[in-house]
């Protein structure tokens, strides 16, 4: 047996040697290893929409502003300063003089114009093109109503000055400028290489890092860009981002010391939340995201607002956040999280079983009698995520309070989304993550013509209020109109039932890692992160 | 893989069936696993009467360790695990048995027709089996489950009560798992039928003018029963296991219902370095392991009994 | 000559398989471009669909696909927009091949001796113990065995890393977790094969001639008894070489198995069809190899 074992061992090692030499040998270890969540679908900043993508792309490309690591507020980036006209419609950005691509060519104001216009072309198929519609004529240009790119509200006055015109005063426009859709991209490379420009080597980037390699399902390695304008403050040289979707695996790798940071809220095992929260290396903070139930208002029985309200009133939010999610989520009576900037809390529906039963009886279903069979649509998950657990709780609450037996219908992600969009559901698990720190990222969603509405609910009065708020310069007045709109949405029409506001989570050992801070938009610039030796 | 021929010389004092029964009972391991299986089935059937808990009723007693109040503890929603394991085992066994039944039905018919008719039809039917065999079953199952779900649901809602519609996922599992498990059955049956077709007694019957369907169903199929039963006994555990994998992917039984697979999938997350609620994994996995072990040993025993060659 | 013919016969089979996969995935509800954020206009979705020819009738899509396939191009992935399926397969296959080969070796190295011993000692404690081990390997799902192995050997004992890929040490636990299941099946097949052979008259004759039991078992029984294992080896290797979702997900191994499941869930049409073809080619070729080995091992089998 001995010699056979030995030869087996040799064969094993030989196989490895062969394999690793074939792949170019072992590489340098990274300074910092970050577990980043799902594998990015794309790294093209103007196409992407997911959080894991966003976090990688922010390290590679930069716009006029960037998010401050501590507060999450916009701060000067490729633009050193700017002026805003008194009516809030015209921004004049002064682009830094010392900025260059990672390949050495200077970045000039016209690069921004060309980059932004690229987003507005339908063939670019940008998920987030809507975020550019704040620019004057941008939406018309996108829809083809205007053919002349000169009509769009972005112009380079000279190499260093960019003039931006908006449709209406937009309080959060500087935050938008820090968003990946607004970054500057190398148009010469894109014109030459087309859709796959992101895989050119070396990749021409505008941010603090360059892309070393992107091995799908293995890791993304980024490396310090010495030509970055703020390179002096970059705190590390090589960073690896691992695509991991299993919460247990992420935890194991972190505890084993193979990863320094875990920063995806889906990567925390829900059932360990109570223990983890007590650890000094576990960080939780308010995060601008909402978890709620959508009602399909186009179908019986949820075409009746009384039924919708009854279902919303029956939800015991405290039980869900205290017993199920347990990660510091806040029970929410409003759609917009309370920590949102420029926000006055609306009046939502408080938990009220009696009122719920009364409304259901009013609607013709006393004690749930005669209620048609309905189902709660949710996304089926492989990991230990909270969605299924919340669904089980909701089902029990509706059974106990209303006497209605709701079926659960888990579907895999794409089928779930297709059903949601096609209004092929009764009730559905829903969530929304803020794109920027402002109530309108949540409240725009339920405009009649918004593609993310997905409830079938259309109301001209609501549309009117939201449009009016969006056009208001005075921040307090604007917040008041939004409050009126949200109250109308939640109390009067109730196409949704709110459950909780998200909490964000990271793991990292504060004794070993500095330069990463909790902020409500869960944005953590990689260049400020430092590993203490 | 020979079956005990049913049409045999009458000189033997013991009928082949009795003989097989005798052989089976001599195999202690098989006998014991048969008894264990019987006990499990009984437990699953009368189990709900043994506990005062409903498997789907939530409580505030989350993650309670096993105690006299909750024999096997409770889960993350405070549901009694004993009730859930029994309930889950029932579903798992049901999926295994019905799924295997579906595979039996398709496989035997397919194999028997291909083998008996022979020629071009046989060739075409078996090529079809080859094609399905070369598809990765997981892709097939996922696509099948997702695309049939709504069709099934509407159809069930149309013909029956809405409560039937809520069982659509269960029916889908029966069909889906059966649909990927019949291929080997078809191959085995075809092989057997092919060789039986050439036997003298079939020739004789044909000469007597007995119809083909009659020959096939009355005289040939009974002769393949042995092989089919053996293979069936081994299909059940593999289908139960497959369902557990689907549950792991979130495509198994619909919550809040449970199968052993979905309980284990939930329990597997408990294996972590921070804190282990051991009862959530140990009991469902133990129950599944015991069931599958018993089924396999039982199947082995059946084979030994029905296949005189291996003795 | 026989094998050349069989290889040629594979081509229509592969065509049918690709067609079935191609149509099946498109029939299922939900498409690759259903996203959480609704597209800004139907125009965007139209542009995307046009890029992947999804706006064409299905037969035309298939013809385009076949045209690319003839040039060994599996097309662009619809989820990972900047990667072609070839790209992803090329990146992910080495790890899967390595893990698959190791597990294959383990399954045979563990299963064959185990099956041999349990059969040789039928009815003794070695048989019961060994059969139990083999069956446990089959009966406990990999998503339970995997985490248990990690807990014991990586976290408590710290002998091996908990995950990731890159050194021989990284491969030990995944190989075990994956190989136990297949090892168990091999052991059972081997046991069955042995028991079948041992009841043959020629073995009785050999024993009657007074040959040592050792000689009977190794010289006369082993070779024919391994035949069921050989015919199982083809599908087993095809399974192993297309990766395991559970193991890759658990140990964070950059292999192809996760794509097999995820692409089906994500409706990444080109990726699914590409992987189906890859699997089918592997399976069919390996079955050929198995038939070849079979004819070498069993003198009764002759192909013309």
Contact C254 A215 (CB under 8 A): yes
Co-location of A15 and A56 in the same domain: no
- Closest partner residue to A410 (CB to CB) among B157, B255, B266 is B255
Dihedral (Cα; C25, C27, C33, C35), 10-degree rounding? -100
Nearest to B241 among C131, C136, C141 (CB): C141
A208 versus A272: which is more confidently predicted?
A208
pLDDT for the residue B13: 55
Q: What pLDDT shows up at residue A492? A: 92
A214 beta partners? A220
Closest in B63, B163, B273 to A252, CB measured: B273
C-chain residues near A56 (CB < 8 A): none
Distance CA A261, CA A341 (A): 28
pLDDT (tens digit, 9 = 90+) per residue, C119-147? 998 888 998 899 899 989 988 899 999 99
Q: Over the stretch A52-74, which tens digit does the pLDDT of each residue have?
A: 999 999 999 999 999 999 988 89
Mean pLDDT of A134-158: 93
Task: Please report whether residue A515 resides in a domain.
Answer: no
Distance from CA of C198 to the nearest CA of B (A): 8
Would the CA dihedral through B263, B245, A377, B153 be positive or negative?
A: negative
Preferred mutation among B136, B261, B286 to probe C, highest tally of C CBs within 10 A? B136
Chains A, B: CB contacts under 8 A, how many?
78
Residue A218 included in any domain: no
CA dihedral A303, A306, A311, A315 (to 10 degrees): 140
Q: Which domain holds residue A7?
A: 1-27
| B59/B63 Cα distance (integer angstroms) | 10
What is the structure's pLDDT at B216? Answer: 83
pLDDT of residue A244 exceeding 70, the answer is yes
Chains touching chain A through at least 3 C-beta pairs below 8 angstroms are: B, C
Cα atoms found within 13 Å of the Cα of residue B270, Cβ hemisphere only = 18
User: Distance from A81 to chain B by nearest Cα, in Å?
Assistant: 49
The pLDDT confidence band at residue A15, using thresholds 50, 70 and 90, is: low
Read off the pLDDT of each residue in A473-499 and give the average, rounded to a whole number. Answer: 94
Grouping H, G, I as helix, E, B as strand and the rest as coil, residue A294 is strand
Determine the pLDDT at residue B1: 38
* d(CA B57, nearest CA chain C) in Å: 27
Domain identity same for A74 and A138: yes
CB-based contact C141 B292, cutoff 8 Å: no
Phi, psi (5° rounding) for residue B37? -60, -45
> Which residue in this structure is represented by tokens 């199968």?
B259
Residues A440 and A301 in one domain: yes
Residue A84 in domain: yes
Q: Are B243 and B40 in contact (CB under 8 A)?
A: no
Reply yes or no: is the peptide bond before residue B256 cis, omega within 30 of 0.
yes
Do residue B134 and residue C242 have CB atoms under 8 angstroms apart?
no
Residue C5: burial class (beta carbons within 10 Å; 0-12, 13-18, 19+): exposed
> Are A327 and A449 within one domain?
yes
Query: Which residues in chain A touch residue C81, judged by CB atoms under 8 angstroms apart?
Result: 41-42, 44, 47, 195
Locate the chain A residue with the closest alpha carbon to C106: A8
pLDDT-based confidence at residue A8 (cuts at 50, 70, 90): low
Sorted by where each begins, the domain ranges of chain B are 20-49+68-306
d(CA A487, CA A446): 13
Residue C150 has pLDDT above 80, yes or no: yes
**Nearest CA to B247 among C30, C146, A267, C143?**
C143
Q: How far does C244 lie from chain A, in Å, by closest CA?
A: 14
CATH number, domain of A453, equals: 3.10.105.10
Q: B142-166 burial, b if ≥16 CB within 10 A, otherwise e?
A: bbbbbbbbbebbeebbeeeeeebbb
The answer to whether the Cβ–Cβ distance between B271 and C144 falls below 8 Å is yes
Rg (CA), chain A: 25
Cis peptide before A366 (omega within 30 of 0): no
Please count the residue pairs, one from chain A and one from chain C, whose beta carbons lie less than 8 angstroms apart. Answer: 163
DSSP notation for B4-39: PPSS--TT-SS-HHHHHHHHHHH-HHHHHHHHHHHH
- Residue A244 falls inside a structural domain: no
| Dihedral sign of CA atoms A447, A451, A454, A458 in order | positive
Residue after which a domain boundary falls, among A141, A168, A193: A193
Q: A82 and A117: one domain?
A: yes
How high is the ipTM of this complex? 0.88
pLDDT of residue B196: 85
User: Are the beta carbons of B142 and C260 separated by less than 8 Å?
Assistant: no
Neighbours of C215 (CB within 10 A): 12
Determine the pLDDT at residue B165.
58
Can you tell me the distance from the alpha carbon of C113 to that of C123, in angstroms, rounded to the nearest whole number?
17
What does pLDDT average to over chain A? 90
B221-248 helix and C125-139 helix, angle to the nearest 10 degrees = 60
Q: Which long-range contacts (CB under 8 A, 24 or more apart) does A366-370 make?
A: A367/A403, A368/A402, A368/A403, A368/A404, A368/A405, A369/A403
User: Which residue from A533, A508, A81, A529 is spatially nearest to A264, judged by alpha carbons?
Assistant: A508
Residues 6+ apart with CB under 8 A from A30: A221, A238, A239, A240
- Measured between CB atoms, does B273 come within 8 Å of chain A? yes
Domain of A116, CATH number, reads 3.90.76.10
Evaluate whether residue A253 is within a structural domain. Answer: no
Torsions phi, psi for B4 (to 5 deg): -75, 120
Same-domain pairing of A18 and A94? no
CA angle, C171 then C175 then C178, to 5°? 140
Of residues C143, C177, C132, C264, the one with CA closest to residue B263: C143
Please indicate, yes or no, whether residues A5 and A92 belong to a single structural domain of this protein: no
Q: Distance, in angstroms, between A389 CA and closest chain B CA? A: 8
Which residues of chain B fall short of a pLDDT of 70? 1-17, 157, 160-166, 307-311
For position A360, what pLDDT does the model report?
95
Average pLDDT over residues A212-226: 94
Q: How are beta strands A65-67 and A74-76 bridged, if at all?
A: antiparallel
| Number of C-beta neighbours around residue A21 at 10 A | 10
Number of domains in chain A: 3
- The pLDDT value recorded for residue B121 is 92
pTM of the full structure: 0.89
CA angle, corner C5, sides to C3 and C8, nearest 5? Answer: 110
Q: Which residues of B touch C245 (CB under 8 A)?
A: 138, 249
Element housing A193 (H / E): helix A187-193
Q: Indicate the burial class of A281 (C-beta count within 10 angstroms; 0-12, 13-18, 19 or more).
A: middle
Res A101: pLDDT: 96
Residue A475 touches chain B, beta carbons under 8 Å: no
Tens-place pLDDT, residues A358-400: 999 999 999 999 999 899 999 887 555 788 889 999 999 999 9
Q: Could you report the per-residue pLDDT of C194-220, keeping only the tens digit for each?
A: 988 888 888 888 888 888 888 888 888
Predicted confidence band at C301 (pLDDT cuts at 50, 70, 90)? low
Mean pLDDT, chain C, integer: 89
Q: CATH topology for B20-49+68-306?
A: MetI-like fold (1.10.3720)
Collapsing DSSP to helix, strand or coil, A89 comes out as: coil
Q: What is the predicted pLDDT for the residue at B7?
A: 41
In sequence order, the β-bridge partners of residue A282 are A507
Chain-chain contact of B138 with C24 (C-beta, under 8 angstroms): no
CA B76 from centroid of its chain's CA atoms = 30
Provide the pairing of β-strand A79-84 with A330-331. unpaired
Q: Is A134 within the bounds of a domain?
A: yes
What does the pLDDT look like over A90-110, one tens digit per residue?
A: 999 999 999 999 999 999 999
| CB contact C81 to A (< 8 Å) | yes
Contacting residues for B15 by C-beta, under 8 A, at least 6 apart: none
């Amino acid at each position: 047996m001995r010699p056979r074992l030995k030869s087996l061992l040799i064969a094993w090692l030989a196989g490895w040697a062969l394999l690793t030499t074939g792949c170019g040998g072992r590489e340098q270890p990274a300074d910092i290893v970050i577990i980043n969540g799902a594998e990015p679908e794309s790294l093209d900043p103007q196409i992407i929409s997911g959080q894991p993508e966003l976090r990688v792309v922010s390290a590679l490309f930069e716009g006029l502003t960037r998010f401050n690591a501590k507060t999450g507020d916009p701060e000067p980036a490729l633009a050193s300063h700017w002026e805003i006209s008194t009516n809030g419609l015209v921004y004049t950005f002064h682009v830094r003089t010392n900025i260059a691509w990672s390949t050495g060519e200077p970045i000039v104001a016209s690069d921004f114009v060309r980059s932004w216009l690229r987003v507005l072309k339908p063939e670019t198929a940008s998920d987030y093109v809507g975020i550019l519609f704040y620019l004057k004529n941008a939406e018309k240009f996108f829809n083809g109503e205007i053919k002349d790119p000169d009509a769009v509200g972005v112009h380079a006055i000279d190499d260093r000055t960019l003039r931006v015109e908006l449709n209406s005063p937009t309080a959060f426009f500087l935050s938008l400028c820090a968003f990946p859709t607004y970054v500057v991209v190398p148009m010469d490379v894109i014109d030459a290489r087309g859709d796959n420009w992101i895989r050119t080597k070396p990749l021409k980037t505008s941010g603090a890092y360059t892309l070393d390699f992107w091995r799908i399902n293995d890791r993304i390695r980024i490396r310090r860009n010495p030509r970055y304008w703020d390179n002096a403050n970059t705190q590390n040289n090589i960073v690896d981002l691992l695509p991991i979707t299993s919460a247990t695996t992420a935890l194991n790798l972190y505890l084993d010391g193979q990863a320094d940071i875990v920063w995806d809220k889906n990567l925390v095992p829900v059932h360990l939340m109570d223990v983890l929260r007590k650890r000094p290396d576990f960080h939780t903070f308010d995060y601008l995201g909402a978890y709620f139930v959508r009602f399909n208002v186009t179908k019986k029985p949820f075409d009746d607002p009384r039924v919708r309200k009854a279902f919303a009133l029956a939800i015991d939010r405290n039980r869900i956040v205290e017993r199920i999610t347990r990660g510091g989520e806040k029970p929410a009576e409003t759609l917009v999280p309370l920590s949102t900037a420029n926000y006055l809390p609306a009046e939502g529906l408080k938990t009220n079983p009696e009122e719920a039963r009364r409304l259901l009886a009013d609607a013709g279903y006393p004690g749930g009698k005669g209620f048609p069979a309905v189902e709660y649509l949710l996304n089926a998950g492989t990991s230990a995520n909270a969605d299924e657990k919340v669904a089980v709780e909701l089902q029990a609450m509706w059974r106990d309070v209303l006497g209605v037996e709701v079926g659960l219908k888990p579907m895999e992600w794409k089928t779930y989304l297709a059903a949601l969009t096609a209004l092929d559901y009764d009730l559905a698990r829903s969530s929304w993550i803020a794109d920027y720190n402002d109530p309108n990222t949540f409240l725009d969603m339920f405009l009649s013509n918004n593609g993310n509405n997905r409830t079938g609910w259309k109301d001209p009065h609501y549309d009117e209020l939201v449009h009016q708020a969006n056009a208001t310069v005075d921040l307090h007045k604007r917040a008041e109109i939004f409050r009126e709109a949200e109250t109308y949405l939640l109390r009067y029409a109730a196409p949704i039932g709110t459950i909780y506001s998200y909490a964000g989570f990271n793991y990292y050992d504060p004794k070993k890692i500095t330069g990463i801070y909790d902020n409500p938009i869960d944005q953590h610039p990689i260049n400020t992160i430092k590993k203490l030796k | 893989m020979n079956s005990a021929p049913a049409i045999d010389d009458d000189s033997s004092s013991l009928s082949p069936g009795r003989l097989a029964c005798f052989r089976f009972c001599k195999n202690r391991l098989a006998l014991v696993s048969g008894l264990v299986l019987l006990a499990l089935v009984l437990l699953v059937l009368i189990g709900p009467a043994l506990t005062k808990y409903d498997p789907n009723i939530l409580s505030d007693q989350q993650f309670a360790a096993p105690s006299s109040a909750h024999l096997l503890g409770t889960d993350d929603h405070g549901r009694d695990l004993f009730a859930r394991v029994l309930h889950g085992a029932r579903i798992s066994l049901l999926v295994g048995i019905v799924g295997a039944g579906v595979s039996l039905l398709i496989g035997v018919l397919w194999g028997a027709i291909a083998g008996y008719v022979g020629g071009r039809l046989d060739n075409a039917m078996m090529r079809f089996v080859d094609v399905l065999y070369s598809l990765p079953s997981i892709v097939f199952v996922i696509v099948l489950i997702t695309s049939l779900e709504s069709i099934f649901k509407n159809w069930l809602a149309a013909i029956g009560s809405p409560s039937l519609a809520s069982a659509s996922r269960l029916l889908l599992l029966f069909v889906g798992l059966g649909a990927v498990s019949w291929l080997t059955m078809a191959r085995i049956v075809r092989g057997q039928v092919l060789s039986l077709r050439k036997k003298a007694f079939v020739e004789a019957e044909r000469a007597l003018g007995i119809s083909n369907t009659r020959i096939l169903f009355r005289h040939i199929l009974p002769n393949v029963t042995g092989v089919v039963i053996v293979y069936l006994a081994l299909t059940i555990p593999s289908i139960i296991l497959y369902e557990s994998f689907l549950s792991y992917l979130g495509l198994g039984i619909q919550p809040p219902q449970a199968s052993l697979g979905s309980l284990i999938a939930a329990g597997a997350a408990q294996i972590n370095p921070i804190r282990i609620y051991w009862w959530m994994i140990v009991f469902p996995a133990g129950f599944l392991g015991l069931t599958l072990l018993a089924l396999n040993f039982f199947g082995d025993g059946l084979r030994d009994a029905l296949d005189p060659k291996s003795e | 000559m026989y094998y050349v013919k069989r290889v040629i016969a594979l081509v229509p089979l592969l065509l049918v398989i690709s067609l079935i996969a191609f149509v099946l995935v498109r029939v299922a509800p939900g498409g690759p471009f259903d996203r959480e954020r609704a597209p800004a206009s139907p125009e965007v979705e139209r542009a995307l669909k046009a890029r992947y020819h999804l706006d064409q009738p299905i037969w035309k899509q298939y013809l385009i696909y076949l045209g690319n396939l003839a040039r060994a191009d599996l097309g662009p992935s619809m989820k990972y927009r900047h990667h072609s399926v070839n790209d992803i397969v090329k990146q992910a296959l080495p790890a899967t091949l390595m893990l698959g080969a190791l597990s294959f070796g383990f399954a045979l190295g563990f299963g064959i001796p185990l099956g041999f011993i349990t059969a040789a000692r039928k009815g003794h404690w070695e048989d019961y113990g060994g059969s139990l081990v083999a069956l446990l390997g089959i009966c406990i799902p990999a998503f339970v065995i995997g985490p248990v192995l990690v807990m014991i050997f990586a976290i408590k004992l710290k002998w091996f890393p908990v995950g990731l890929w890159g050194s021989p040490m990284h491969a030990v636990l995944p190989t075990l977790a994956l190989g136990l299941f297949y090892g168990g099946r091999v052991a059972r097949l081997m046991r069955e094969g042995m028991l079948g052979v041992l009841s043959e008259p020629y073995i009785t004759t050999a024993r009657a001639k007074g040959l040592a039991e050792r000689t009977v078992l190794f010289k006369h029984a082993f070779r024919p008894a391994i035949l069921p294992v050989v015919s199982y080896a083809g599908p087993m290797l095809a399974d192993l070489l297309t990766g395991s979702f559970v193991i890759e997900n658990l140990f964070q191994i950059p292999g192809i198995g996760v794509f097999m499941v995820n692409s089906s869930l994500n409706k990444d049409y080109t990726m699914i069809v590409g992987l189906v073809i890859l699997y089918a080619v592997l399976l069919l070729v390996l079955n050929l190899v198995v038939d070849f080995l079979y004819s070498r091992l069993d003198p009764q089998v002759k192909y013309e």
